Amino acid sequence: MYQDRILLTVKDILDKNFKIDTRGFRPQEVDKFLDMVIRDYEEWNNIVSDLEADKNNLLTENMKLKQEMRLLKTKLDVAKEEPAPAPTNADLLRRLSNLEKIIYEKE
């Protein structure tokens, strides 16, 4: 994604040769500086790769959460439209039985 905005690659920097004239640069200084540039450039590439991976993970998670939210909204709308069924005697007895089990097992 960002690669088209970068002018130099690590190889371009590493293979760069400077012309030396009578008042030329010190090759050791140039090499030392280019080593620092290469290290920083590699680190920057690692950071960008990590951020791209994080972004893709977040986009995927966001899509899943949006789908889940739509599903829950649909279920909520359906539940609002349908009246709740009145509990039957069997339901009430089952609930009472479960409550008694919970209470008497703790004692």
pLDDT recorded at residue 94: 92
Structural contact between residues 41 and 6, judged by C-beta atoms closer than 8 angstroms: no
pLDDT recorded at residue 65: 96
pLDDT recorded at residue 3: 62
pLDDT recorded at residue 107: 58
Q: Which positions of the chain have pLDDT values less than 50? A: none
Structural contact between residues 38 and 13, judged by C-beta atoms closer than 8 angstroms: yes
HSE-CB for 64 with a 13 A CA cutoff: 6
Q: Give per-residue pLDDT as tens, 92-106.
A: 999 999 998 888 886
pLDDT recorded at residue 70: 95
With a CB cutoff of 8 Å and minimum separation 6, the contacts of 41 are 8, 10, 13
Amino acid present at 26: R
pLDDT recorded at residue 4: 64
pLDDT recorded at residue 1: 55
What is the residue extent of each domain of the chain? 3-106
